[in-house]
Amino acid sequence: MNHTRAPVNGNWVWYNTKHEHSGIALFSSAQVHDGTWKSIRKERDQTLQRYYDQYPHRFRDRPTTPAPQTYVGINLPEPNKQPAH
In a domain, 10, yes or no: no
In a domain, 50, yes or no: yes
Residue 78: exposure state from Cβ atoms within 10 A (0-12, 13-18, ≥19)? exposed
Q: What is the pLDDT of residues 42-80, one digit of tens each?
A: 999 999 999 999 999 999 999 999 999 988 788 888 877
Tell me if 64 sits within 8 A of 25, measured CB to CB.
no
In a domain, 47, yes or no: yes
SS3 84: coil
User: The dihedral of CA 11, 13, 41, 34: what is its sign?
Assistant: positive
Asked if pLDDT for residue 6 goes beyond 70, the answer is no
Range 11-19 contact pairs with CB under 8 angstroms and sequence separation of 24 or more: none
Domain that holds residue 52: 18-56
